[in-house]
């Protein structure tokens, strides 16, 4: 029996994880969950799965969730089944490193995921990593901590999970130089704006940006997919996860999202992982690794598949992707800056305070301003993240002035 903490249980990845877990009650026990703004959803999760712990943002939320749980289920008026409610970042860290926990699903969106994910790594857990932002913010330190503390890191991002599956077993972590690999081929759907001209992007709305053709995801990653910043963040994620250089990763647009990514070998072979676009596949793979379990995803029907097509990404349509590649080559301060700026810019876009095309401008200005800093410790990274958020807010105010 694996005991599991889900950081970000109320989100899209959290829900898919709960779905897979509930198909295998003999294998998995949910130990702890966290939520943030959607307390009714968290209450429903607690009632259905009866974890030992639930983490909310504030003390006020802790009181509210208790009331919600009691209102929704009479069973929970008994103290014996009531979970312990914890609050804030310390609560997240506690459920990530708790000794009774084997596996931590890191599915909080954004920089808020870094410290609890690090806590799971430092406690030597099996860490299922959906929160790509933690690697973008702290790649080298993060991977060092994985090695030092003997954590097992399995990527959940569908592309990285695919690459992981296409690598030889003994080379899954950073030994790619000796493995005969020529390139990692990171596939991208191109998102909802793949066929739009650059000047048409000026006035797109948040709802248009969040209407992804193939994947159903949270709003931040949906906007990142529309701008292809998501692929940029994934480029940086791949570099750290698999210990490769920038020139060893190629981005290929594959609009059907059936091939989730590929590894090209020196002998001419290309290994690909295919499947329907449903995150329950990589989640089930990571949960059961190295075994395989049923995930609830339909089998791929080859006879119903449309054409497989491939395109090169263009810089004038997807400048954020190319900015991320440049930031990756510049180093840690640049990618931390990029992540911070992008979180602020995407939030401003989603709340109607910034044009879609201005997300790139904010990101580029902050990377330019803040790439030349040395970040040796986690505290330096957090301080840099904070400073870059302030720079991004200044840039947004200037653009809107």
Residues within the interface to Mg ion (CB under 5 A): 157-159
Residues 248-267 that bind ligand NAD (CB under 6 A): none
Choosing from 11, 51, 155, 255, the residue that interacts with ligand NAD (CB under 6 A) is: 11
Q: Which is nearer to Mg ion, 98 or 159 (CB)?
A: 159
Which of residues 62, 101, 104, 109 is near ligand NAD by CB under 6 A? 109
User: Closest residue (Cβ) to Mg ion?
Assistant: 157
Per CB under 6 A, 221 contacts ligand NAD? yes
- 3-state class of 273 per DSSP? strand
CB of 126 to Mg ion, least distance (A): 20
Which one of the spans 71-79, 108-116, 118-126, 248-256 is the region binding ligand NAD (CB under 6 A)?
A: 108-116
Least CB distance to ligand NAD at residue 250 (A): 20
Nearest-angstrom CA–CA distance, 87 and 94: 10
Q: Which residues pair with 251 in a beta bridge?
A: 186
Nearer to Mg ion, 106 or 365 (CB): 106
The encoded tokens of residue 381 equal 């990274």
Question: 270-274 and 259-265 as β-strands: parallel, antiparallel, unpaired?
Answer: antiparallel
50 burial via Cβ count (<10 Å: 0-12, 13-18, 19+): middle
Q: Is 88 in the site for ligand NAD (CB under 6 A)?
A: no
Nearest distance in Å: CB 261, Mg ion: 9
**Nearer CB in complex with ligand NAD: 108/249:** 108
Residues 45 and 24 sit within 8 Å (Cβ to Cβ):
no
Among 10, 103, 138, 176, binds ligand NAD (CB under 6 A): 10
How far is 287 from 267, CA to CA, in rounded Å? 32
Contact 209, 230 (CB under 8 A): no
The CB-of-227 to ligand NAD minimum distance in angstroms stands at: 13
Any idea what the Cα angle at residue 107 is, between residues 69 and 384, rounded to 5°? Answer: 120
Q: Tell me the C-alpha distance between 78 and 65, whole Å.
A: 15
Which one of ligand NAD, Mg ion, none is in contact with 12 (Cβ closer than 5 to 8 A by kind)? ligand NAD
> Nearer Cβ to ligand NAD, position 324 or 365?
324
Look at residues 333, 225, 283, 345 and name the one whose alpha carbon lies nearest to residue 105. Answer: 283
Binder to ligand NAD among 157, 237, 343, 385 (CB under 6 A)? 157
The region of 10-18, 117-125, 325-333, 360-368 touching ligand NAD under the rule CB under 6 A is 10-18
Size of the site for ligand NAD (CB under 6 A): 24
Query: Closest approach of Cβ 57 to ligand NAD, in Å?
Result: 6
133 sits near ligand NAD (criterion: CB under 6 A): yes
Three-state DSSP state, 326? helix
Terminal CA-CA length for the chain: 57
**Beta-sheet pairing, 259-265 with 181-188:** antiparallel
Of 60-68, 125-133, 284-292, 376-384, the window that binds ligand NAD (rule: CB under 6 A) is 125-133
Name which of ligand NAD, Mg ion, none residue 107 binds, using a CB cut-off of 5 to 8 Å depending on partner kind: ligand NAD
Answer for which of 4, 5, 14, 105 binds ligand NAD (CB under 6 A) is 14
Q: From CA 309, how far away is CA 95, in angstroms rounded? A: 43
Instruction: Name all contacts of 196-201 with Cβ < 8 Å and 24+ positions apart.
Output: 196/317, 197/317, 198/316, 198/317, 198/357, 201/317, 201/356, 201/357
Q: Which residue ranges make up the site for ligand NAD (CB under 6 A)?
A: 8-14, 35-36, 107-109, 112, 130-133, 157, 215, 217-218, 220-221, 279
């Amino acid at each position: 029996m694996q005991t599991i903490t889900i950081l970000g249980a109320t989100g899209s990845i959290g829900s898919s994880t709960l779905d897979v877990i509930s198909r295998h009650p003999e294998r998995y026990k949910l130990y702890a969950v966290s939520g943030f703004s959607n307390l009714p959803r968290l209450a429903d999760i607690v009632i259905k799965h009866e974890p030992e712990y639930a983490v909310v943002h504030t003390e006020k939320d802790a009181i509210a969730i208790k009331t919600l749980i009691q209102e929704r289920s009479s069973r929970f008026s008994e103290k014996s089944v009531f979970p312990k409610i914890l609050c804030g970042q310390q609560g997240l860290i506690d459920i990530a490193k708790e000794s009774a926990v084997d596996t931590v699903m890191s599915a909080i969106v954004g920089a808020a995921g870094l410290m609890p994910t690090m806590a799971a790594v430092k406690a030597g857990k099996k860490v299922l990593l959906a929160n790509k932002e933690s690697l973008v913010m702290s790649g080298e330190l993060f991977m060092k901590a994985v090695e030092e503390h003997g954590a097992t890191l399995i990527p959940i991002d569908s592309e990285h999970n695919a690459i992981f599956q296409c690598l030889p077993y003994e080379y899954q972590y950073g030994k790619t130089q000796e493995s005969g690999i020529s390139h990692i081929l990171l596939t991208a759907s191109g998102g909802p704006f793949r066929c739009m001209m650059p000047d048409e992007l000026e006035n797109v709305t948040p709802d248009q940006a969040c209407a992804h053709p193939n994947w159903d995801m949270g709003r931040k990653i949906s906007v990142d997919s529309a701008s292809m910043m998501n692929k940029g963040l994934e480029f940086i994620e791949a570099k750290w996860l698999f210990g490769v250089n920038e020139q060893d990763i190629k981005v290929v647009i594959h609009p059907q999202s059936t091939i989730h990514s590929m590894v090209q070998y020196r002998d001419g072979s290309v290994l690909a992982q295919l499947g329907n676009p449903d995150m329950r596949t990589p989640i089930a793979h990571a949960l059961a690794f190295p075994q395989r379990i049923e995930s609830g995803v339909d089998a791929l029907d080859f006879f119903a598949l449309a054409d497989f097509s491939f395109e090169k990404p263009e810089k004038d349509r997807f400048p954020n992707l190319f900015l991320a590649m440049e930031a990756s080559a510049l180093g840690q301060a640049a990618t931390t800056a990029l992540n911070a700026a992008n979180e602020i810019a995407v939030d401003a876009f989603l709340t109607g305070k910034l044009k879609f095309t201005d997300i790139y401008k904010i990101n580029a200005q902050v990377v330019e301003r803040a790439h030349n800093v040395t970040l040796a410790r986690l505290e330096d990274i957090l301080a840099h993240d904070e400073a870059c958020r302030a720079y991004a807010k200044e840039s947004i105010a200037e653009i809107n002035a």
